[in-house]
Structure 1
Amino acid sequence: MGLIDMAQDPETYIKLPGKRRRIIVGRDTAYLSPDHLLTIESSGFSEQYKRYYFKDIQAINIIKTRKATITNSILLVLMIGLSVWGAFLYPGEMAPLSVFLWIISAVMLVYFIMNAPQGASCEVWIHTRVQKEKIPSLYASRIVNKAMKILVPAIEKVQGTLGGENLKNARNKLYFKKDDQFTPGTRVKIPRVQQTGGSLIWHRISFPMTMISGALIAVAIVYRPPLFLAFASIWMLSGFAVAVVAGAVQTRTGLSGTVKAATWASAGAYLVILVIGYVETVVGWVTMASELDPFQTQNQWEMFKVYSKMDVLGTPWMFWLNTVQASILMMIGAAGLFLFYKDQNR
């Protein structure tokens, strides 16, 4: 590997798939020549060129990461939360804020749609005789698979291939698993990310969210400002959505039956509590109708204002109902989280 000034004829290079744009300015790309791999790391103001000669490459490590899964999960939760919040505030004097929240949700949706098809996130590390370096432009399974179809034959052309039993064993090797290595002197299958089933990130998010939902209901018994109630409502709806997604994808995982049951129990508890919350809202409108301003547009925000005036501590049935709801969610969340990590450590 070495720094170069890119003085060579650009026609001798073939661009590898993949172009990673940086957060503000700059991008990372990779090019292939007959005897080396060239990477260009641009900051927008300067460029750094690195060259990896095929004869010096000893191994390529390709490690599957969870970055894309976590990013897409967070985006999905935020999209749902902001969209629902905007729906609660519309119509009325808060309508401009609703539109603003929907615009943010739309931007997140576009980003989600553009990145989801790239597949699982990966890190590609080139091992030479003296060091190892990460190739920033190869960051997603779909891009890596395309790049390897070009890079692997080029390395083999320089280093040669093995035959006999070694060739057979190499072809049967599972590739993208953590710590697996591809030795360029060995012919292997064109890499494909080995999918072991549905993503477990939803369960890692869902069970803690369920516990927090229970805690929010408990706090709302004594602390009831409208903004807090709105936040708790959005959190509950988001938690329900995440639990449903976790339940839908778990059929493709190796999770135990108890964890799967806890996931659906969480979704079911959310659904029942949301329905009960709707009934409580109707009761609140009826019992406090005399306090409503007939000239005020009645939207979800006005409902939270009315709901905040309800005396839960002074109303036995509401107090016990909210206490039971909080307890059930916290117990399901804690039990599910315990069972999930116990299942992962088997």
Structure 2
Amino acid sequence: MAELAIRALGLTRAFETVRALDDLNLEVPAGSVFGFLGPNGAGKTTTIRLLLGLIEPTSGSAQVLGFDTRTQGADIRARTGALLEHSGLYERLSAEDNLRFYGRVAHMPKEQLNQRIQELLTHLGLWDRRKEAVVKWSRGMKQKLAIARPLLHRPGLVFLDEPTAGLDPVAAASLRDDLAALAARQGATIFLTTHNMAEAEKLCSLVAVIRQGKLLAVGSPADLRSRGGGQRTEITGRGFSDAMLAMLSQQAGVTQASVENGRLVLVLKDGAGVAPFISLIVREGGEVQEVRSGQGSLEDVFLTLMEEEK
């Protein structure tokens, strides 16, 4: 049996009458990149705060790196790194001085700290600008530095809460590439929250889907696609109006209808045949030139799960 970095049993947290987390049972293997997926308000950040021992559960229990979150929160926080809603950067300081400050807080030996700063900043493409005040940097560069901060002391587990949120597509893609490479080099467990399915598919070896505090599914991206993604059909043609999309979305068996790159995309529930929908499109004035079907993406799985839980 693989060693576990995180184990939660019946973990629940209520705020007055609202259950932000409801009976969470979760196991995260050591060394994995674990994606915790859900819409805003699903309970992702609450889960991280519980696992770090920053708040206590209403009921249930959790162990992180072998420590109990109720009684050993300080031990957990000393052995983990976390990037939550705030970057923790001092923007008047240089990148180098920011990391040096946090390394001293972690009581890292000077020589080890200097070596680690060079290693991280070089890998993230920031070394040549290490002397600049962070306030002069782009948002994407600041976010890379913010991610270097919790990695500085080589923790066994790193929590990253929506690390690419607010970045433009180019900066987000660059950061995802850096995270994938860092995860491979570090050997640490990474617990990543996101509502970006492409990000999860690229980075994560395991994913869990949560909605309104309830866990809906857990598995590898490939496993979830095979279990619940349904069939994705791309139709090349013309006449795919908003009215047609609305009409298709209301049909039994259709999880999603959208236009992507000029193609009509239908995500169908398992067992639903595509032929009746092609006939309907033609009958409503659409022109069908080519039809391609395949397994749904992780985003299709996510949308299907969200629809089923309404």
Question: Normalised by the size of structure 2, how large is the TM-score?
Answer: 0.27
Question: Normalised by the size of structure 1, how large is the TM-score?
Answer: 0.25
| Larger RCO of the pair (alpha carbons < 8 Å, separation 6+) | 2
Rg larger in structure? 1
